[in-house]
Amino acid sequence: MSLQLMDLDTRTEKILFFQSEILSWFEKMGRNFPWRSSSCSEYQIIISEVLLQRTNAENVKKLYSIFLSVYPTWHSLAIAKIETIANSLKQLGLQRQRAVRLSKLANYMLENNSVLPKSREQLDKLPLMGQYIGNAVELLIFKRPRPLLDVNMARVLERFFGPRKLVDIRYDQYLQSLSFDIVQLKEMKAINWAILDFAAIICKARTPLCNECPLTERCIYYLALSSPEIYPNFC
């Protein structure tokens, strides 16, 4: 069932409810990570997102400071051997290709005085700048409201608002539009981090803690569990 077809409330009301509850939860239960500090440099922000993509945040937390101590600047990455970088990333389960692309990005930044292009079109041409990291750069560095949409955020949004149609979240118009609308707030960073933390702590992939969730009264997934006759195709 799509968000547009639900009769619980209007799209706007449901989004406002979701934003309010998630941010309130985040104030009390949000996680503390070094890359969320306001003192982080642009380099540190990008490195954190490179490490976080497809990787458990708690695992990244253990190696983040170590990685930065070995590679404190774009220059240190640019002059490092690919295999050395690959060995550092291997501890997080990241493939060698990630090291190759990270090295290319470091060399680009070194050649361009560590200045990122401001337009999304030019940003997307850089190594490693897929949709997720590109959104992270726009959100965390350029301060533009963009969603950190990955499988974890997608899970929370789909359970609450309804499932997407396409397998690849990058091309699902419904999910892309929904996630974009949800982060149109002054607290654009907080709402992103809140959803990601909520996915890790409450709305887990296999064992969601619905009994601890503040969203259940309007959550499609929860309603499907309790009233399968109303939402037979959701779970």
Whether 233 is covered by a domain: the verdict is no
Structure confidence at residue 4 (pLDDT):
43
Whether 232 is covered by a domain: the verdict is no
Structure confidence at residue 230 (pLDDT):
55
Share of the chain above pLDDT 90, in %: 85
Are 193 and 26 spatial neighbours (Cβ–Cβ below 8 Å)?
yes
Q: What is the CATH number of the domain that holds 113?
A: 1.10.340.30
Q: Are residues 11 and 74 in the same domain?
A: no
CB-based contacts of 203: which residues, under 8 Å, 6+ apart?
A: 155, 156, 159, 209, 213
Q: Are residues 219 and 128 in the same domain?
A: no
Confidence category of residue 11, pLDDT binned at 50, 70, 90 = confident
Q: Are residues 55 and 136 in the same domain?
A: yes
- Say which residue, 223 or 200, is predicted with more confidence: 200
Q: Are residues 155 and 131 in the same domain?
A: no
Q: What number is the average pLDDT over the span 29-54? A: 94
Q: What is the pTM of this model?
A: 0.90
Closest C-alpha among 154, 170, 145 to residue 221: 154
- Whether the per-residue pLDDT at 1 is higher than 50: the answer is no
Confidence category of residue 2, pLDDT binned at 50, 70, 90 = very low
Cα of first residue to Cα of last residue in the chain, in angstroms, is: 11
Structure confidence at residue 83 (pLDDT):
95
- Whether the per-residue pLDDT at 8 is higher than 50: the answer is no
Q: What number is the average pLDDT over the span 118-140? A: 95
| Number of domain units in the chain | 2
Structure confidence at residue 226 (pLDDT):
73
Structure confidence at residue 10 (pLDDT):
82
Q: Are residues 154 and 220 in the same domain?
A: yes
Q: Are residues 98 and 169 in the same domain?
A: no
Amino acid in the structure at residue 187: E
Domain range enclosing 45: 34-140
- Count of other CB atoms within 10 angstroms of residue 217: 11
> Residue written as tokens 């930044």?
109
Q: Are residues 75 and 106 in the same domain?
A: yes
Whether 39 is covered by a domain: the verdict is yes
Q: Among 140, 159, 185, identify where a domain stops.
A: 140
- Whether the per-residue pLDDT at 175 is higher than 90: the answer is yes
Q: Among 96, 118, 140, identify where a domain stops.
A: 140
